[in-house]
Amino acid sequence: MSSNTGLVTIGDAEIEVERRGAGKPLLLLAGEEMLEREAPFVDDLAAGFEVIMPAPPGFGASSRPDWITSPDDIAYIYLSLLDMLNLDEVAVIGCSLGGWIAAELATKDDGRLSRVVLVDPYGIKLGGAADRDITDIWQLSPQKVAALKWRDPEKAKRDTATMTDAQLGMAARNLESFARFCWEPYMHNPKLKHRLGRIGVPTLLVWGDKDGIVTPDYGRGYRALIPGATLTVIPEAGHYPHLERPDAFLTAVGDFLQAPRRGIAAQGDKR
């Protein structure tokens, strides 16, 4: 599988971008732990697409300018990336934090997009001030968070002794950047739910039925705010269905990405 990784300068940010495979462009926005970079399902996608995987500012080898404080800001960085690479008819898959960024991006400008897949995304708040829409992971032990995140929490375990200092440091910096961008408002942008109606390309939400961080009910609320969106719930999977049930995930996504573009377009494309 051909793959190259390099730094792209966007404004005052240096963004690490990996490009893997060949075909129509597929922008894959990883989750906050960046586990997708090593996940086998990406090679399956790269068999039919050119997968473009940027690391958000403050993640991987990307720099973190002070002015970037939220996923909303990161969405603008990625829009610039699409302009710079001059990509059209781009399919976007965003997972967890990456799903939130994908939603932000599509509400701002979906002109270069063909479809959007959001996998257990954060980003909106549906309940009242004292309701917990999104489990507060910062008030729980890492073990409890893993149990809520994974159907099989063993998958969350890392043997730090086998990791280099550089790998440990990158994981610590990823976590730090995640907190920096998502601490308050906690894991949501109060404006996003009012903007989701702007998304004018076919959108699929994929949800793990055992996700204890954002539940399938939250996913149904998300779907209701995006015109024509559909929701596929994958059984026996937690917050990362694409990692725990890659076959079921690839089937759902493959069907969606290859289906003829109808439905949304019939309701009136906003562009």
Partner 1 sequence: MRAWHFTEMPYPYYPPDEPSTRINLPNKHFDPKIGAELYNRYFDEHMIADELGLDLMLNEHHQTPSCIDTCAPLSAAILARQTRKARICLLGNPIGHRNDPIRVAEEMAMIDCISRGRLECGFVRGVPYEVYAANTNPTQTGERLWDGVDLVIKAWAATDAPFNYEGRFWHRRSINVWPRPYQTPHPQIWITGSSDKETTKRVAERGWVFANFLLPHERVKVLFDTYRANFIEHGLPGGGGLAYMPLVYTADSASDADKGAEELRWYLTAPRTEPHFRNPPGYMPVAANVASIRQAEKGGAAIARNASLDQLREQGLLVAGTPDAVVRQIKRFYDRVGGFDHLLMMDQAGFMSHERTVRSMTLFAREVYPQIKDLPRTTPLKVASAAAR
The residues of the shown chain that bind partner 1, judged by CB under 8 A, are 66, 138-142, 160-161, 165, 168-169, 172-173, 175-180, 183-184
- Find the shortest distance in angstroms from Cβ 68 to partner 1: 12
The residue among 142 and 254 lying less far from partner 1, judged by its C-beta, is 142
The residue among 9 and 143 lying less far from partner 1, judged by its C-beta, is 143
The residue among 164 and 258 lying less far from partner 1, judged by its C-beta, is 164
- Find the shortest distance in angstroms from Cβ 210 to partner 1: 22
* DSSP letters spanning 21-87: S-SEEEEEE--TT-GGGG-THHHHHHTTEEEEEEPPTTSTT----TT--SHHHHHHHHHHHHHHHT-
The residue among 174 and 215 lying less far from partner 1, judged by its C-beta, is 174
Strand order in the sheet with 3-10: 3-10, 13-20, 49-54, 24-29, 90-95, 113-119, 203-208, 230-234
Encoded tokens for 48? 């039919």
- Find the shortest distance in angstroms from Cβ 38 to partner 1: 20
The residue among 111 and 185 lying less far from partner 1, judged by its C-beta, is 185
Decide if 21 contacts 49 (C-beta within 8 A): yes
C-alpha 57/C-alpha 134 separation (Å) is 23
- Find the shortest distance in angstroms from Cβ 180 to partner 1: 4
- Find the shortest distance in angstroms from Cβ 223 to partner 1: 30
Q: 177: phi > 0 → left, psi -120 to 50 → alpha, else beta; which? A: alpha
- Find the shortest distance in angstroms from Cβ 69 to partner 1: 9
The residue among 47 and 140 lying less far from partner 1, judged by its C-beta, is 140
The gap from C-alpha 200 to its chain's centroid, in whole angstroms, comes to: 18
C-alpha 2/C-alpha 252 separation (Å) is 25
